Structure 1
Amino acid sequence: MPPPLSRTVLVTTPLFAAFVAILLSDLVPLLGPLMLALALGAVVANAPALSEATTHALADVSRTCLRLGIVVLGLRLSVSDLLSVGWGAALVVIATVAVTYAATCRLGDALGLDRGLVTLIAAGFSVCGAAAIAAVRDGVRTRQRNVALAVALVTVYGTAMIVLLPPAARLLGLSTEQAAVWAGASIHEVAQVVATGSLIGGTLAVALATTVKLGRVVTLAGVYVVAARRDAADGAGEAGPSKAPLVPWFVTGFVLAVLLRSTGVLGESILDVGDHLATLLLGAGMFGLGLGLRLRELWPVPARALVLATASTLVAATTSLVLVVTTSLVA
């Protein structure tokens, strides 16, 4: 058995993995640094080099990095940015998140899936992918395998949307603005939205799609509260905290960071540093989530979970598309 890693190595390993993922993302921009960091974690998890205790220790450090990254992520948003997308796009965001979350929970419960897994999938597919799953996981009692499975599903389905949405938008005759709003309101990960926006129409499409997507990220605080109450009402979870705080510190920190950005007191240089720091910390968090992607534990993927993931993606895509097409507030 390999010797345990020192505290310094435990702290720096996830950050180093995130840094490597950022460098690799220049070579594979379609995946983005967060997805690559997740993949690096999965590679480490499926290699026999580390003991289970060391893997769990690395995952704990990564979880702290992820929470800090969510706080710093708030510096990417300002209230004016959110208002700039218009009430039509805001309506698309709010309705899509609410309908997708509720429909996913209803269907998952009807399919008889583990309630914790259903909640994680609902949060990830309706809000912001793996980051939402990791955040909500603190308030939901469920097994680590369910966390890994939800992350794997949201990654695969979100990546598929990168390929499918741009040609679908052209086939439907959507304008560049409509397609960008659709992408931001329906695709799961921020990195996936950026990649899709670049395929739709360049810089302007990327900016609009990303702003809409970050509008969905703002709903994370509300979704966390709903998810925690759903879990508490059930009272039948497995592993995990028996009583989570109503609003965790990192969600509060995220909201405060948005408000701080909105004041305009932070200069562009500070915001640039914050942007890079958020990517690094979130990447370290994704590395930790990747450590939970052990193939021997995930395979075979339950067919009912695939049905739920497919349905949740379709609900998000259909709801947002109908609203984009029917509301006159989206150009």
Structure 2
Amino acid sequence: MSNISAAMVKDLREQTGAGMMDCKAALTEVAGDMEAAVDWLRKKGLSKAAKKAGRVAAEGLVALLVEGNKGVAVEVNSETDFVARNPEFQDLVSGIAAVALKVGSDVEAIKAAPFDGEGTVADKISATVAKIGEHMSLRRAETLSVGQGALATYVHNPVVPNKGRIGVIVALESTGGNAEKLAELGRQIAMHVASSNPVAVDAAGVDAATIEREKAILADKYREQGKPEAAIAKIVESGIKTYFKEVTLLEQPFIFEPSKSVGQALKESEGAAGGPIKVAGFIRYALGEGIEKQESDFAAEVAAQAGHAA
């Protein structure tokens, strides 16, 4: 049997997109012949991943996982929404979330981590791509924890429990003893975050560059309206306060009681919860946000398929 080096396995993996263990098995099977190894993988249906890699993957699933005082959100993308209903893809996403909960938010570290005895997470993704026949990718992951309090989750229109198109985790810090009340409030706030999409918990959490951009937009707007320069600064400051009410969680009108802000609703719930409550942070993932989707010409696709079939 030929000596199969790590470099050979790496080269074959880059050529085919197949998993590391599959590449090693292929090279072993054909005594290190690279061309024959490619053919071996093709015959096994394991070299599809590389061919799929150029396709836009903006569908898939957002998954949430909470254990104790730590939670994680992950987004795993596929090309079509049909794959989100595939149990094998769902199992892949669940496994990735479990790894991310232990490893943390770094995508490359997650992909390099072991996947339940099936090579690495990257290997498992490649194997699932080859089996299902669509490009898939782990796009992002984020963890959230709380010292004392509760982590609440909400998935909008779940495909299966804890997996769907929009997922939210909210961390509530509280020394109150009413865990049930805290969990109920946390879920309501998670639903609010899903609906209202705040950019930060409060004004202090809004990126400074974003604030400056908003100020510049407001100032230009009022200059075009002919407002005097001496008045613009005060008008802009007032406009920024309005902006914070629109985009920060604690100042937004609470969807369950629009006459109150989320911050007011939290304050009023402290008695029932048995102690002060603070929103320590939140994660909101919406599937495919920010991905530029390709527009497809359905008629052209059908014609192309007909041409291939001819």
TM beyond 0.5: no
Greater Rg over alpha carbons, structure: 2
Normalising by the residue count of structure 2, what TM-score does the alignment of the two structures yield?
Answer: 0.21
Q: Which has the higher strand share?
A: 2
Higher relative contact order (Cα pairs below 8 Å, separated by 6+ residues): 1
Normalising by the residue count of structure 1, what TM-score does the alignment of the two structures yield?
Answer: 0.20
Q: Which has the higher helix share?
A: 1
